[in-house]
Amino acid sequence: MQVLVTGGSGFIGRALCRQLMAAGHQVTVLSRSQEAAARLPQGARAIIGDPSRQGDWQAQAAEHQGFINLAGASIFGRWSPDYKALLRSSRVLTTRNLVEAMAKAAGPKVLVSASAVGYYGFHQDEELDESSPAGQDFLGQLCLDWEAEANAAARRGARVVATRFGIVLGKGGGALGQMLPLFKLGLGGVLGSGRQWFSWIHRADLVSAIVFCLERELAGAVNCTAPRPVTNRELTQALAHAVHRPAFLPAPAFAVKLLLGELGSVLLEGQRVLPRRIMRAGFQFKFPTIETALEDLLG
Condensed to tens digits (0 to 9), the pLDDT of residues 156-168 reads 999 999 999 999 9
Q: For the chain, what percent of residues have pLDDT higher than 90?
A: 82
- Please say if the pLDDT value at position 258 is more than 90: no
The 10 Å CB-count burial string (b at 16+, else e) for 223-235 is bbbbbbbbbbbbb
Which of the four pLDDT bands, split at 50, 70 and 90, describes residue 249? confident
> Each residue of 118-129: pLDDT tens digit?
999 999 999 999
- Rounded-to-integer distance, Cα 37 and Cα 9, Å: 7
User: Is position 247 within any domain?
Assistant: no
Residue span of the structural domain in which 210 resides: 2-171+200-225+274-283
User: Is position 218 within any domain?
Assistant: yes
Closest CA to 199 of 225, 164, 177: 225
The pLDDT value recorded for residue 122 is: 93
Cα angle value 176/181/187 (rounded, 5°) = 110
The pLDDT value recorded for residue 265 is: 85
Which of the four pLDDT bands, split at 50, 70 and 90, describes residue 184? very high
Residue 173, strand partner residues: 170
Which of the four pLDDT bands, split at 50, 70 and 90, describes residue 91? very high
Q: Is 155 exposed, middle or buried (0-12, 13-18, 19+ CB in 10 A)?
A: exposed
User: Is position 182 within any domain?
Assistant: no
- Rounded-to-integer distance, Cα 146 and Cα 114, Å: 9
What CATH number is attached to the domain comprising 45?
Answer: 3.40.50.720
Question: Quick one: how far is CA 10 from the chain centroid?
Answer: 11
User: Is position 187 within any domain?
Assistant: no
Q: What is the mean pLDDT of residues 59-64?
A: 95
Q: What is the mean pLDDT of residues 175-203?
A: 93
- Rounded-to-integer distance, Cα 5 and Cα 148, Å: 19
The pLDDT value recorded for residue 36 is: 85
| Number of structural domains the chain divides into | 1
Q: How many CB atoms lie within 10 A of CB 71?
A: 25
Which of the four pLDDT bands, split at 50, 70 and 90, describes residue 172? confident
Which of the four pLDDT bands, split at 50, 70 and 90, describes residue 147? very high
Q: For the chain, what percent of residues have pLDDT higher than 70?
A: 100
- Rounded-to-integer distance, Cα 91 and Cα 96, Å: 9
> Each residue of 18-52: pLDDT tens digit?
999 999 999 999 998 888 888 898 999 999 999 99
Q: What is the mean pLDDT of residues 244-268?
A: 87
User: Is position 80 within any domain?
Assistant: yes
Mean pLDDT of the chain: 94
Taking the alpha carbons at both ends of the chain, their separation in whole angstroms is 36
User: Is position 66 within any domain?
Assistant: yes
Residue 201, strand partner residues: 168
Which of the four pLDDT bands, split at 50, 70 and 90, describes residue 195? very high
- Please say if the pLDDT value at position 77 is more than 90: no
- Compute CA distances 129 → 17, 27, 143, 261, 287, whole Å: 28, 31, 15, 28, 19
Closest CA to 115 of 88, 83, 91: 91
- Please say if the pLDDT value at position 299 is more than 90: no
- Compute CA distances 110 → 63, 193, 214, whole Å: 13, 42, 7
User: Is position 126 within any domain?
Assistant: yes
For 263, list phi and psi in degrees, rounded to 5.
-60, -35
What pTM did the predictor assign?
A: 0.95
- Rounded-to-integer distance, Cα 62 and Cα 14, Å: 22
User: Is position 195 within any domain?
Assistant: no
